[in-house]
Structure 1
Amino acid sequence: MAQHGIARATARQALSVLINEGLAVPKRGSGVYVRLFRPIRRHGAGRLSRERWGGGQAIWDSDTGDRRYTVDEIEIDRETADDVVARVLGGSDVWVRRRRYSVDGRSVQLSVSHFPAHLVEDTAVTRRDTGPGGVYARLAELGHAPAHFTEEIRARMPHPHETVQLDLPAGTPVIVIARTAYTSAGVPVEVNEMILDAASYVLQYDFDA
């Protein structure tokens, strides 16, 4: 107010614009701070290449490079899938892996993967640590290697529990990515819904004309 010679209401409106644009973050009882988090560049195709997970690398290494990431929440259960997932996988009996990912100490993504129970029962896919290359490498060992992926992307405002889990500032939207993995025979082996903090990501897609 003093530096720019403006009214308090004008200053508050200006801060609201910066917060809504994701450039500033309000902290209750403390103030408004510049957002210093460097966005994650998510390379749509390169991160899912067979060379990566087949060689024992984690998909997240493609997104984060040398930045520190953690899976700080994980739940694994056998469940009955909802109608949408059951229709894609051809059955409602599924194993579900729920995770929350954090980068540089900031929660950035929630992920829920569904697998047909008869394919992954009593395998590493149902364990906390799935081993080098993750679930896709384990599916390949079972004879169900993913050969094709489809992703649908949309944006929306977060549900209350997503706001809490991702610690989202007011007005921050999320990006929802629904991915299905298919074998070379066209059999779906995973349905994964990812909820991304929109202010923490840049989505990159490379393709020829």
Structure 2
Amino acid sequence: MDPLRSKKTNGGTARRPTVEAYKNEHGDAASARQQGHQTQEVSLVEADEHVSTALGLPPGTTVYERARVMTRDGVPTHTVTSYYRVEDVEDTSLVDPAPGIAGPGGGFRVLTDRGLDPHEITEDLNARMPTADETLLLELPPGEPVVEVRHTTRTAEGQVIEYARGVHAASRFMWSYTFAIPD
């Protein structure tokens, strides 16, 4: 086994988020609170081309990879794999392999506490058909597309502090964005 792919493990207590879900795809129906859960696997890995470019690092640089599968009421909804520079998150709850969120305020609170205040996010969305592995992992019915989201978080100074890739079951999500109109 590649030593950089070795997983951090411990017997930590799971943290369970609650999510607000809507009864239709438009988000205008009554909402319901549902129990959410996420698995978590944390590894030190060599940054591939996309990760190294996003984080501004040479290819092959060791980074933390935090891979999660999110479920809502026991149904898998999406995966998210985040990447961080080692020096930005070492010894924080972001690299704690206990299932669940990174703690009160989530990962952005952890980064803020390290002096890396998230200021700007860029998201690139791509609808596509899932791979065979994604179909199994997300328990997708035949013909269900996914939406891949590539997410880059920066400080006000422009430093990238997180790069993430997520795969979402298309029928289980609706995205809504609000933008200020420039002068």
Does TM-score exceed 0.5, indicating one fold? yes
CA deviation after TM superposition for structure 1 residue 131, in Å = 1.6
Residue 55 of structure 2: aligned partner: 89
| Alpha-carbon spacing, 1:185–1:40, altered in 2? closer, same or farther (3 Å) | farther
| Alpha-carbon spacing, 1:121–1:167, altered in 2? closer, same or farther (3 Å) | same
CA deviation after TM superposition for structure 1 residue 39, in Å = 5.1
Aligned pairs for 1:22-171 within 5 A: 38=23, 66-71=33-38, 73-91=39-57, 92-128=61-97, 130-171=102-143
TM-score (norm: length of structure 2): 0.76
Residue 32 of structure 1: aligned partner: none
Q: Distance in 2 between matches of 1:142 and 1:106?
A: 34
Aligned-pair RMSD on alpha carbons? Answer: 2.0
Higher Rg of the two aligned structures: 1
Structure 2 counterpart of 1:67, which letter? Q
Structure 2 unmatched ranges of 5 or more? 1-21
Q: Distance in 1 between matches of 2:124 and 2:159?
A: 18
Aligned length: 151
* 8 Å CA contact 2:25, 2:171 repeated in 1: no
Q: Distance in 1 between matches of 2:159 and 2:26?
A: 30
CA deviation after TM superposition for structure 1 residue 38, in Å = 3.6
Structure 1 counterpart of 2:137, which letter? Q
Q: Distance in 1 between matches of 2:95 and 2:25?
A: 28
Structure 1 counterpart of 2:35, which letter? R
Residue 177 of structure 2: aligned partner: 205
Of all paired residues, the percent bearing the same amino acid is 29
**Secondary structure of the corresponding residue to residue 202 of structure 1:** coil
Q: Distance in 2 between matches of 1:83 and 1:147?
A: 24
**Secondary structure of the corresponding residue to residue 33 of structure 2:** coil
TM-score (norm: length of structure 1): 0.67
Runs of 4 or more consecutive aligned structure 1 residues displaced over 4 Å after TM superposition:
39-42
CA deviation after TM superposition for structure 1 residue 77, in Å = 0.6
CA deviation after TM superposition for structure 1 residue 104, in Å = 2.1
* 8 Å CA contact 1:39, 1:199 repeated in 2: no
* 8 Å CA contact 1:39, 1:200 repeated in 2: no
| Alpha-carbon spacing, 1:65–1:114, altered in 2? closer, same or farther (3 Å) | farther
* 8 Å CA contact 1:76, 1:95 repeated in 2: yes
Q: Distance in 2 between matches of 1:41 and 1:126?
A: 35
CA deviation after TM superposition for structure 1 residue 41, in Å = 7.2
| Alpha-carbon spacing, 1:166–1:90, altered in 2? closer, same or farther (3 Å) | same
Picking from 135, 149, 153, the partner of 1:181 is 153
* 8 Å CA contact 1:155, 1:175 repeated in 2: yes
Greater helix share, 1 or 2? 1
* 8 Å CA contact 2:152, 2:164 repeated in 1: yes
